[in-house]
Amino acid sequence: MDGSDYSWAAKAGDVFHSYYEIPFYHLIVELALVLFIIKILMSKSTGSPGDETPLTEKEMQKLIAEWTPEPLVPAGAADTEPPVPVITSKVGKYVTVNGKECLNLATMNFLGMIGKEEIEDAAVASVQKYGVGSCGPRGFYGTIDVHLLLEEKLAKYMECEEAIIYSYGFATVASAIPAYSKRGDIIFCDKEVCYAIQKGILASRSTVFYYNHNDLDHLVELLEKQAVEDRKNPKKARVTNRFLVTEGLFVNTGQITNLPRLIELKQKYKFRIFLDESYSFGVLGECGRGLTEYYNVDRRNVDMIVGSMEFSLGSVGGFACGSSFVIRHQRLAGQGYVFSASLPPLHASMVIKAMDYFDKDLFSKLINNCKIAHEALEAIDTITVTADPLSPMKHIRLIENNSEEALREICNLARDNNLAITVASYTSTEIFKKEPSIRLTVNTELTEEEICSSVKLIEEVIHQYTSPSQDISEDS
């Protein structure tokens, strides 16, 4: 039959035959195209036009000779070095600064742990048992039994599964954040967070959104914005971790975070909360457990709490606590934990001892003192006070002509009158510039009279500082 005769061979023959029917010019055009493509493939890729001819050795030497670097640091820095007050005693309730014994309202020894003899005894016993240094990171024979005891004690006190201790307060939160948050993850953060958090976020290389200080409506706005982005790219959103990092008690403003609202938002927007309680641990809450106790919220809602052992505990170091699921990861990924020598055992022993002094009376005394100081300071009409009444740190600023020099001068005058206060120090690299202030601290050792007389002294000193200049201006 015709149909079956028309076999595959015949079909192939037809295709082959059809080439003869292509016009000749068509072939030439195709050939030219092929040659052109080959030429493109063979030619070297040229970069930007400037790189065409490589530099000769001579030209390079000339460029190198021409290059003059900036000095390593600005010249003459040593000549303009501001004098720093020097301590020559213990830094307890009283402190000797530049040879003058002062009442101490400057250091953050909130609970008066520094100078307690029993704690010193613990330190001495520790030195006589373990020596001073631990001579290694935790992984390499730098784990001493007191480290483990302290971790257990902290975890128990904070009613958490696990705690981890670091050898430096600053390094704690700065290491903890990049252990979890990586490039591509998103961090929401308060604008007024302490410098250690800022550095931790920078080290994590995550995307960061700063919301206005304590303005959770602004936070919601940012979260909504992100939620819209996430809906556009749900695949990416499924693997992008979101974190909220904030301080319990802000060292830069003395304000308290609205934790219950944050926890409400947490479930809605699915972010994990890292709470830095460096300044609120041992301060807020009935038993000093910090913000979670102050608001009476389930501690498990906060994924990680970071605390410091340098302020209310009067030692050195920091800790992080939370569920084992979260905290254990830092034993391999917390840079300041893995790569640094461990905490000197004497400081661990001191904290273990200091925690025995934690009791309700102590914390209520502190809060009471904070309130007294706040009230007294608010009564002065030449200054503004920024802080929560419950905060042991009060930021004082002059209403008129507030400047760092002026505040420093006021501190010096106060020191001449046997009162140690200090200006809060910042570097020029803060992300959001800080208004200079005197950071006054309150501790449990102070009596009501001492607080009131100190505040009165501050008022007098400010008057003394401001009035002569007024006299001059009146004269002129």
The Cα 265–Cα 330 span in angstroms is: 26
Reference 189, options 247, 237, 238; nearest CA is 247
Reference 292, options 312, 306, 310; nearest CA is 306
In the bound state with other proteins, the residue whose beta carbon lies nearer, of 331 and 466, is 331
In the bound state with other proteins, the residue whose beta carbon lies nearer, of 38 and 124, is 124
In the bound state with other proteins, the residue whose beta carbon lies nearer, of 200 and 248, is 200
Report, in Å, the least distance between residue 392 CB and other proteins. Answer: 11
Report, in Å, the least distance between residue 111 CB and other proteins. Answer: 10
In the bound state with other proteins, the residue whose beta carbon lies nearer, of 180 and 295, is 180
* CB-based burial label for 439 (10 Å; 0-12, 13-18, 19+): buried
Stretches 106-114, 287-295, 391-399, 466-474: which one binds other proteins (CB under 8 A)?
Answer: 106-114
Edge-first strand order for the sheet with 393-398 is 383-386, 393-398, 438-441, 422-423
Stretches 206-214, 240-248, 373-381, 449-457: which one binds other proteins (CB under 8 A)?
Answer: 240-248
In the bound state with other proteins, the residue whose beta carbon lies nearer, of 18 and 128, is 128
Report, in Å, the least distance between residue 417 CB and other proteins. Answer: 16
The DSSP element (H or E) to which 454 belongs, if any, is: helix 448-475
Within 204-233, the residues that bind other proteins by CB under 8 A are: 205
Within 7-66, the residues that bind other proteins by CB under 8 A are: 55, 60, 63-64
In the bound state with other proteins, the residue whose beta carbon lies nearer, of 282 and 285, is 282
Within 310-349, the residues that bind other proteins by CB under 8 A are: 310-311, 314-316, 323-326, 328-329, 331-332, 335-336, 339-341, 343-344, 346-347
Q: Which two tokens stand for residue 280?
A: 């609120």
In the shown chain, the binding pattern of residues 345 to 374 toward other proteins, with x for contact by CB under 8 A and - for none, equals -xx--x------------------------
Report, in Å, the least distance between residue 467 CB and other proteins. Answer: 27
Within 431-470, the residues that bind other proteins by CB under 8 A are: 439
What are the helix (H) ranges across 158-276? 169-180, 195-204, 216-232, 234-239, 259-269
Residue 375: other Cβ atoms inside 10 A: 14
The angle subtended at Cα 115 by Cα 114 and Cα 120, nearest 5°, is: 95
Extended strands (E) in 263-382: 272-276, 304-308, 318-322
* CB-based burial label for 83 (10 Å; 0-12, 13-18, 19+): exposed
The DSSP element (H or E) to which 165 belongs, if any, is: strand 162-166
Report, in Å, the least distance between residue 95 CB and other proteins. Answer: 7
SS3 428: coil
In the bound state with other proteins, the residue whose beta carbon lies nearer, of 23 and 234, is 234
SS3 258: coil
Q: Which two tokens stand for residue 132?
A: 């001073």
Report, in Å, the least distance between residue 311 CB and other proteins. Answer: 6
Based on the shown chain and the rule CB under 8 A, indicate whether residue 300 belongs to the binding site for other proteins. yes
Q: What are phi and psi of 459, to 5 degrees?
A: -60, -45
Within 415-434, the residues that bind other proteins by CB under 8 A are: 420, 422-429
Based on the shown chain and the rule CB under 8 A, indicate whether residue 115 belongs to the binding site for other proteins. yes
Stretches 5-13, 238-246, 400-408, 447-455: which one binds other proteins (CB under 8 A)?
Answer: 238-246
Q: Which of 11, 31, 90, 359 binds other proteins (CB under 8 A)?
A: 90
Based on the shown chain and the rule CB under 8 A, indicate whether residue 134 belongs to the binding site for other proteins. yes
Q: Which two tokens stand for residue 308?
A: 């410091």
Query: What's the distance, CA 190 to chain centroid?
Result: 11
Based on the shown chain and the rule CB under 8 A, indicate whether residue 138 belongs to the binding site for other proteins. yes
In the bound state with other proteins, the residue whose beta carbon lies nearer, of 1 and 86, is 86
Q: Which of 14, 34, 88, 286 binds other proteins (CB under 8 A)?
A: 88
Within 139-178, the residues that bind other proteins by CB under 8 A are: 139-145, 147-148, 161, 167-171
Stretches 307-315, 372-380, 402-410, 460-468: which one binds other proteins (CB under 8 A)?
Answer: 307-315
From residue 77, give the alpha-carbon distance in Å to each of 72, 80, 84: 11, 6, 15
